[in-house]
Amino acid sequence: MHCLSDYDVKILMALNQSLDGNGKFARFLMENGYPELVAFSAAIHSDDDAFNWLLKNGYPEFAVLCNAINNEPHAIQWLVDHKAHLLSLFAAACRKDDDAIRWFADNKLDVFLFLVRTIHKELLFQAWDANDPHRW
């Protein structure tokens, strides 16, 4: 099973920039052999094709992670059942679970806290955008 902890900190920081919408970093990840991280970033941004790519190309745990971040109970349970402890904690931290955030802080895993902050910001934007009366 793949995990975000499998990647070098520099790659995770490039992922953070990609999550923040910087296409230059998404291209960097793609050109350097990390299409799964580009797909994960796009799936966080609600790209169904990217989500399906993760499922079909050997990265179902990253697709499930996207759903767990969005508080889907089956996805959260899947991570628990598959003993994906770090991914489970990461999803909880993205949902602003104080204990999970504290775990990353206590273990000095700052790069994950950067990712959590960026994902949370994106989720807030998506919620705002979905409730924007001008879009109705």
- Greater pLDDT, 3 or 130: 3
Output the CA–CA distances (angstroms, integers) from residue 103 to 44, 98, 106, 108, in the order listed.
Answer: 23, 9, 5, 8
Question: With 50 as the cut, is the pLDDT of residue 31 above it?
Answer: yes
HEC secondary structure over the chain: CCCHHHCCHHHHHHHHHHHCCCHHHHHHHHHCCCHHHHHHHHHHCCCHHHHHHHHHCCCHHHHHHHHHHCCCHHHHHHHHHCCCHHHHHHHHHHCCCHHHHHHHHHCCCHHHHHHHHHHHHHHHHHHHHHCCHHHC
Q: How confident is the model at residue 132 (pLDDT cuts 50, 70, 90)?
A: very low
Q: How confident is the model at residue 120 (pLDDT cuts 50, 70, 90)?
A: confident
Looking at the whole model, is its pTM more than 0.85?
A: yes
Q: How confident is the model at residue 127 (pLDDT cuts 50, 70, 90)?
A: low
